[in-house]
Structure 1
Amino acid sequence: MADYILEEKDSFTVLGFGTELESHYTDYAGITKEKADFWEAVKQDGRLDTLKEVAANDYIFAVNEAVNNKMMHYAGVITETTLPEATRIIQFPKGDYLVVKGEAKTAEELSNRLTGIAFGQVLPAATNFAYVGGPNTTVEMGQRNGLVFGEMWIPVVRK
Structure 2
Amino acid sequence: MADYTIVEKDSFTVLGFGTELKSDYTDFAGINKEKADFWQAIREDGRLDTLKSIATNNYIFAVNEAVNNKMMHYAGVMTEVSLPEATRLIQFPQGEYLVVKGEGETSEELSQKLTGIAFGQALLEAKDVAYVGGPNTTVEMGQQNGLFFGEMWIPVVRK
Same fold (TM over 0.5): yes
In structure 2, how many angstroms separate the alpha carbons of the residues matched to 1:19 and 1:127? 33
Q: CA deviation at 1:125?
A: 2.4
Q: CA deviation at 1:127?
A: 1.0
In structure 1, how many angstroms separate the alpha carbons of the residues matched to 2:93 and 2:123? 19
Aligned residue number for residue 155 of structure 1? 155
Aligned residue number for residue 34 of structure 2? 34
In structure 2, how many angstroms separate the alpha carbons of the residues matched to 1:142 and 1:135? 22
In structure 2, how many angstroms separate the alpha carbons of the residues matched to 1:114 and 1:48? 21
Structure 2 contact 11–91 (Cα < 8 Å) conserved: yes
Listed as ranges, the gaps of 5+ residues in structure 2 are none
Letter in 2 for 1:152: M
Q: What SS does the corresponding residue of 1:24 show, helix, strand or coil?
A: coil
Q: CA deviation at 1:23?
A: 0.1
In structure 1, how many angstroms separate the alpha carbons of the residues matched to 2:91 and 2:27? 27
Structure 2 contact 3–122 (Cα < 8 Å) conserved: no
Aligned residue number for residue 72 of structure 1? 72
Deviates more, 1:119-128 or 1:56-65: 119-128
The alignment status of 1:12 with 2:12, answered yes or no, reads yes
Q: CA deviation at 1:21?
A: 0.1
Q: What SS does the corresponding residue of 1:49 show, helix, strand or coil?
A: helix
Flag as ranges the 4+ runs of structure 1 deviating above 2 A. Answer: none
TM-score, normalised via structure 2 length:
0.99
Deviates more, 1:121-130 or 1:26-35: 121-130
Q: CA deviation at 1:147?
A: 0.3
Q: CA deviation at 1:104?
A: 0.7
Letter in 2 for 1:7: V
The alignment status of 1:114 with 2:114, answered yes or no, reads yes
Aligned residue number for residue 61 of structure 1? 61
Aligned residue pairs total 159
The alignment status of 1:130 with 2:130, answered yes or no, reads yes
In structure 1, how many angstroms separate the alpha carbons of the residues matched to 2:125 and 2:9? 22
In structure 2, how many angstroms separate the alpha carbons of the residues matched to 1:125 and 1:12? 26
C-alpha RMSD of the superposition: 0.5
Q: Deviations over 1:91-135 (max 9, x none)?
A: 000000000000110110000000000000111222100000000
The alignment status of 1:101 with 2:101, answered yes or no, reads yes
Q: CA deviation at 1:80?
A: 1.0
Listed as ranges, the gaps of 5+ residues in structure 1 are none
Q: What SS does the corresponding residue of 2:29 show, helix, strand or coil?
A: helix
Percentage of matched positions with identical amino acids: 79
In structure 1, how many angstroms separate the alpha carbons of the residues matched to 2:2 and 2:57? 27
